[in-house]
């Protein structure tokens, strides 16, 4: 039996011992930046406000335990449809999934809880699956959807020199339509997580940099949300800060759009709104921010302007990206 | 474009257009007549409605426009150089841009047969001033550029249409760079710790020699506004535009050196006796110095350059050099 199953059983035993005293409470660690968990959130059946959350959490723990014992995987959506009356909404089950992950200090992927993959990939990449299947992106000119369970990828084969992540699917499609692989003189893999990346996309980026030793570059909008997306790839998401080691790419190179370029862009520049400024402040409050990123965020705060990748789309493939990479203009 | 390529001459295009335009209104008129015949009996078939006449006139005017387009497009199809000269046209005064004539176009198509009067960055600075109001103290380089004042007066060459184009170029200068083959700034802020200078491409080394240097350097090399803003300059022609992308611009401080580089000789007298029309590039700031060196009035020199600039290729070729000298008393 695996470590996770044992941990779940230990949690169940503690709960039973507390039930003897009339206390049906589960302690869920709060997100913490480090490995040391200092704060817990109490989810109790005794409390009318958290009673439903308690039930869904127990349901989720039982399903995860069964998963660990019998093997396999399931999706959050599938879990919801198994018992919609109990779960009530997908957001509830999604939150319970994160709570279980927090309690076990692991990622949903490790537990076998999957979500529909939204990542797209193109370029020189061959995914050799554990069942013998081969997903060959190099043979197919268009985008390939990343497999839902990246752990079922046995090996990644590629002749690429680097990975290029773009924030948006529209930019991804635009690059493909502009024959980006023909324009570049170097082989590379193009990936998009369609905005905030899912675990699968981040896991594959992580594996490409760790297992295949590829440099990874990222191109996001020059706005606080673009910066945050970059940080999700680099350091993991804030909501899953407890277990991001296998999903992060700390060596990720941010090649643009940099807020310091906004004055040079001229066109496609938009004023920041209140939400943007709040996000900037939130980001600046993070302690693990690199000095360069912090500098760029301050610059964003100063100019009070933001720009999207589309503002440089005309010279993206033949000028912007190659020069950014060749001149090491990354943060 | 299709019409242009499909028809052998503008005349035939005109005719075909004319025929086409007649068919459509007649059909419409027929429909109207039929409709009116149903309501009111006996309406003469030739009695076309004012609306139809109006349409026909529009079609005629459109045809005339199309005809003009045909004439303009023809040389473009013939000579590939036009593309570069289009850029060049944008940078020049709108006076030259708007009334494009076929003969003028020929001059533009042969870069060696034209005189380019390269203006200073005053207009750029003027637009930048507006930006400064928004981005005050945003970028370290901005503070340096604050020292550069705009020359206030503009006589007769105020840009009309190219303003937008200009604006799109100006921001490139914001980080302190002239427009270059790469739209990326030559130098990024210091927190880009890995940054490398733009790579020198051997194939376009000659081009980059003049283009890769940042605008800040250029402005440093040029006379500062304090130096050039003399009382007599207030009434002079200011035809400010950023450096030409497709021209060789000398970055040397020494005027004689730059003259030697442009004309192939430092001998002013031999330069003035133009044996054949060729490409001259002159920075606006150098004009007063050049006028002093040649011992001619600045306004006179400017007039000579302006008039020469307005000449067509044929006119220049047939222009007796003696006559030119006598007329303008250059030497």
Chain B residue nearest residue A303, CA to CA: B135
- Enumerate residues 243 to 272 of chain A having a beta carbon within 8 A of any beta carbon in chain B: 258, 260-261, 263-267
Supply the mean pLDDT for chain A.
Answer: 89
Nearest Cα to A198, choosing from A163, A148, A151? A148
The pLDDT of residue A20 is 87
- Enumerate residues 127 to 186 of chain B having a beta carbon within 8 A of any beta carbon in chain A: 131, 134-135, 137-139, 142, 167-172, 174-175, 177, 181-185
Q: Which residues are CB-contacts of B197 (< 8 A; sequence separation ≥ 6)?
A: A327, B186, B187
- The DSSP code for B283 is -
What is this model's ipTM? 0.78
Which domains are assigned to chain A? 3-114 (1.10.10), 120-326 (3.40.1360.10)
Note the pTM of the prediction, 2 decimals: 0.53
How far, in Å, CA of B309 to CA of B269, rounded? 20
Q: Are A108 and A114 in contact (CB under 8 A)?
A: yes
Residues of A annotated as part of the active site: 81
Average pLDDT (A160-169) is: 94
Using the Cβ of B204 and the Cβ atoms of chain A, whether some distance falls under 8 Å is answered with no
Q: Is A10 exposed, middle or buried (0-12, 13-18, 19+ CB in 10 A)?
A: exposed
Inter-chain CB proximity A291 and B191 less than 8 Å: yes
The pLDDT of residue A212 is 93
Nearest Cα to A223, choosing from A172, A169, A174, A277? A277
A230 pLDDT more than 70: yes
Within 8 A of B199 by CB-CB distance, chain A residues are: 326-327
- The torsion angles phi and psi of A330, rounded to 5 degrees, stand at -130, 165
Nearest Cα to A168, choosing from A319, A312, A315? A312
The pLDDT of residue B304 is 85
DSSP string, A121-172: EEES-EEEETTS-EEETTT-SS-EEPPS-GGGEEEEE---SEEEEES-HHHH
Inter-chain CB proximity A327 and B142 less than 8 Å: no
The pLDDT of residue B200 is 61
Closest in A303, A327, A331 to B138, CB measured = A303
Cα distances (Å, whole numbers) of residue A52 to A10, A13, A27, A89, A95: 22, 21, 15, 11, 12
Task: Give the three-state DSSP class for A217.
Answer: strand
Task: Give the three-state DSSP class for A30.
Answer: coil
Interface test with A, best of B144, B171, B216 (most A CBs within 10 A): B171
CA distance B140 to chain A (A): 10
Q: Which two tokens stand for residue A179?
A: 């024959």
The pLDDT of residue B164 is 33
How far, in Å, CA of A111 to CA of A68, rounded? 7
pLDDT per residue over A113-154, tens digit each?
888 889 999 999 999 999 899 999 888 878 899 998 888 899
| Per-residue exposure over B2-14, b if at least 16 CB sit within 10 Å of its own CB, e if not | ebbeebeebeebb
Q: Comparing A205-219, A302-316, B269-283, which segment has the lowest mean pLDDT? A: B269-283
A234 pLDDT more than 50: yes
The pLDDT of residue B147 is 39
Q: Which residues are CB-contacts of B71 (< 8 A; sequence separation ≥ 6)?
A: B10, B102
Closest in A296, A305, A320 to B184, CB measured = A320
The pLDDT of residue A148 is 87
The pLDDT of residue B27 is 66
The pLDDT of residue B281 is 62
Within 8 A of A299 by CB-CB distance, chain B residues are: 138-139
Q: Are B271 and B259 in contact (CB under 8 A)?
A: yes
Query: Mean pLDDT per 10-residue run, chain B (331 residues)?
Result: 39 38 55 67 44 39 41 36 36 38 34 38 46 44 38 36 34 42 82 81 40 35 38 40 39 66 73 60 76 86 82 67 48 42
Using the Cβ of A302 and the Cβ atoms of chain B, whether some distance falls under 8 Å is answered with yes
Within 8 A of B188 by CB-CB distance, chain A residues are: 258, 260, 329
Average pLDDT (A189-204) is: 93
Within 8 A of B198 by CB-CB distance, chain A residues are: 323, 327
pLDDT per residue over A236-288, tens digit each?
888 777 777 788 999 999 998 999 888 877 677 889 999 999 999 999 998 88
């Amino acid at each position: 039996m695996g470590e996770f199953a044992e941990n779940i059983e230990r949690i169940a035993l503690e709960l039973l011992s507390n039930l003897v005293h009339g206390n049906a409470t589960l302690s869920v660690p709060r997100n913490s930046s480090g490995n040391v968990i200092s704060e817990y959130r109490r989810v109790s059946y005794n409390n009318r406000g958290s009673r439903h959350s308690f039930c869904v959490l127990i349901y989720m723990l039982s399903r995860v335990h069964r998963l660990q014992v019998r093997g396999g995987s399931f999706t959050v959506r599938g879990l919801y449809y198994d018992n919609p009356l109990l779960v009530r909404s997908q957001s509830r089950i999604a939150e319970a999934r994160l709570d279980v992950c927090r309690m076990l200090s692991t990622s949903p992927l490790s537990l076998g809880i999957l979500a529909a993959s939204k990542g797209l990939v193109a370029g020189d990449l061959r995914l050799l699956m554990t069942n013998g299947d081969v997903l060959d992106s190099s043979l197919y000119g268009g985008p390939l959807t990343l497999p839902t369970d990246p752990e079922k990828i046995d090996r990644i084969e590629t002749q690429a020199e680097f990975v290029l992540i773009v924030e948006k699917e529209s930019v991804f499609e635009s690059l493909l339509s502009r024959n980006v692989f023909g324009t570049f003189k170097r082989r590379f893999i193009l990936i998009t997580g369609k905005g905030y990346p899912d675990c699968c996309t981040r896991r594959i980026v992580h594996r490409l940099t760790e297992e295949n030793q590829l440099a990874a570059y990222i191109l996001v909008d020059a706005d606080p949300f673009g910066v945050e997306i970059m940080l999700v790839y680099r350091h993991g998401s804030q909501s899953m800060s407890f277990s991001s080691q296998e999903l992060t790419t700390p060596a990720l190179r941010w090649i643009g759009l940099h807020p310091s370029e906004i004055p040079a862009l001229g066109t496609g520049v938009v004023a920041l709104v209140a939400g943007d400024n709040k996000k900037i402040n939130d980001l600046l409050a993070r302690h693990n921010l690199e000095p360069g990123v912090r500098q760029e965020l301050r610059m964003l705060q100063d100019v009070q302007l933001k720009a999207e990748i589309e503002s440089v789309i005309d010279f993206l493939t033949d000028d912007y990206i190659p020069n950014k990479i060749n001149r090491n203009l990354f943060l | 474009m299709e019409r242009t390529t499909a028809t052998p001459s503008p005349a035939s295009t005109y005719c075909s257009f004319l025929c086409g335009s007649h068919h459509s209104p007649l059909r419409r008129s027929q429909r109207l007549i039929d409709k009116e015949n149903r309501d009111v009996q006996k309406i003469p078939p030739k009695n076309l409605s004012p609306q139809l006449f109006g349409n026909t006139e529009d079609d005629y005017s459109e045809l005339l426009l199309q005809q003009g387009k045909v004439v303009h497009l023809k040389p473009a199809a013939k000579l590939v150089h036009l593309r570069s000269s289009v850029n060049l046209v944008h940078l020049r005064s709108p006076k030259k841009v708007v009334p494009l004539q076929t003969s003028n176009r020929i001059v533009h198509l042969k870069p060696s047969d034209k005189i380019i009067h390269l203006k200073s960055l005053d207009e750029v600075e003027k637009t930048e001033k507006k930006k400064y109001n928004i981005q005050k103290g945003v970028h370290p380089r901005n503070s340096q550029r604050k020292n550069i004042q705009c020359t206030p007066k503009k006589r007769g060459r105020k840009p009309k249409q190219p303003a937008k184009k200009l604006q799109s170029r100006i921001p490139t200068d914001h980080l302190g760079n002239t427009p270059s083959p790469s739209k990326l700034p030559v130098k990024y802020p210091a927190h880009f710790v890995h940054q490398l200078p733009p790579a020198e491409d051997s194939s376009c080394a000659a081009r980059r020699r003049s283009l890769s240097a940042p605008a800040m350097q250029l402005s440093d090399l040029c006379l500062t506004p304090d130096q050039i803003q003399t009382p007599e300059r207030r009434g002079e022609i200011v035809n400010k535009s950023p450096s030409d992308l497709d021209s060789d611009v000398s970055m040397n401080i020494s005027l004689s050196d730059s003259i030697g580089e442009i004309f192939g000789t430092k001998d002013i007298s031999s330069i003035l006796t133009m044996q054949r029309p060729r490409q001259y590039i002159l920075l606006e700031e150098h004009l007063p110095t050049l006028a002093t060196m040649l011992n001619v009035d600045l306004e006179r020199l400017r007039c000579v350059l302006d008039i020469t600039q307005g000449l067509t290729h044929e006119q220049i070729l047939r222009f007796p050099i003696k006559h030119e000298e006598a007329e303008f008393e250059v030497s």
